Amino acid sequence: MFSGFEERVKRAVKSVREVESVSPQLGIILGSGLGDFIDRFSGREIPYTKIDGFPLPTVEGHRGTLKINPSAAVLAGRFHYYEGYDPDDIVLPIFLLHGLGVRTLIVTNAAGAVNPEYKPGELVLIRDHINLMGVNPLRGPNIADLGPRFPDMSEVYGLQLRQLVKSISKQSYREGVYAAFQGPCYETPAEIRMAAAFGADLVGMSTVPEVIAAAYLGIKVIGISCVTNMAAGILEQPLSHEEVVATGKKVAPQLAELITSILNNLSG
Ligand code: HPA
């Protein structure tokens, strides 16, 4: 984080506090094309344009809005490194959620399957991640009031939360390791073989910076990847953004249901 970041966080929290006083414990971040849940969720809607210092998402399918009620705060629209944002911009929403009272976070994303057993359209629980982005949002002066200089990352996607998700779902979910590349190009087949050799099951271009920030702040994380395609080189066909978007759209209602049941369970 750069110096001045703490002030930036305070200003963002203040602009939400000016219109809404609730302090939900649960935060939810909806990935590209996975925004369906927000329409089922009732709460006060605050567009990013009304949150002081918030950048605006440039990716289609990202709405750029916060919805908040006493149980949860939902963000539809995230900031990716490949869009040109600084890591500070990418993690500002996590610091905002923390400032509003959030202590458990559900992060969702669209991902390519490195694991050949996975199928497009499947939801996978993230068990761990590998940061191949080449950036870390915690670089820079540490804000000692908020978190440690050297945060522990041994169990960021908490076992108890993963077990809870499995116990409340009718369906069984596999668990996998998510590797984050910078993007915006998809990976080469050789990069996917490397990711597989490293132990990755999924690849994507998001989530890891936000999860690092959450771990730093002591927020517990549930990560859900929506497999939108088989990763490069697994099938003999090129990857297409249209395929990723179309599969994401198909799975969005199932993801919305899963998030709803987690929300009901955690707030009930
Ligand atoms: N690679 C990287 N990011 C992605 C992919 C992929 O195959 N699918 C969806 N997001």
Name the residue range of residue 151's domain. 5-267
pLDDT at 267: 81
The C-alpha atoms of residue 208 and residue 4 are separated, in whole angstroms, by: 23
| Model pTM score | 0.96
Ligand 1: residue whose CA is nearest its atom 10: 111
Question: pLDDT by residue for the chain (268 residues), tens digit each?
Answer: 777 899 999 999 999 999 999 999 999 999 877 878 998 899 999 999 999 999 876 766 567 899 999 999 999 988 999 999 999 999 999 999 999 999 999 999 999 999 999 999 999 999 999 999 999 999 999 999 999 999 999 999 999 999 999 999 888 899 999 999 999 999 999 999 999 999 999 999 999 999 999 999 999 999 999 999 999 999 988 899 999 889 999 999 999 999 999 999 988 6
Count of the separate structural domains present in the chain: 1
Please say if 267 is a catalytic residue.
no
Ligand 1: residue whose CA is nearest its atom 9: 111
Q: Are strands 123-131 and 174-180 parallel, antiparallel or unpaired?
A: parallel
Residues linked to residue 73 through DSSP beta bridges, in sequence order: 27, 68
The C-alpha atoms of residue 137 and residue 115 are separated, in whole angstroms, by: 28
Cβ(191) – ligand 1 distance below 6 Å: no
CATH number at residue 44: 3.40.50.1580
Cβ neighbours of residue 87 closer than 8 Å, sequence gap 6 or more: 81, 135, 136, 137, 139, 209
Q: Are strands 26-30 and 44-47 parallel, antiparallel or unpaired?
A: unpaired
pLDDT at 170: 82
Q: Are strands 26-30 and 72-76 parallel, antiparallel or unpaired?
A: parallel
Residues linked to residue 106 through DSSP beta bridges, in sequence order: 28, 222
Ligand 1 pocket: which of 202, 229, 235 to mutate (most atoms <8 Å of CB)? 229
Ligand 1 nearest-atom number relative to CA 204: 3
The C-alpha atoms of residue 126 and residue 155 are separated, in whole angstroms, by: 11
Asked if 211 and 223 touch (Cβ cutoff 8 Å), the reply is yes
Return the H-helix or E-strand segment holding 88.
Answer: helix 87-100
Side-chain-side CA neighbours of 204 within 13 Å: the count stands at: 28
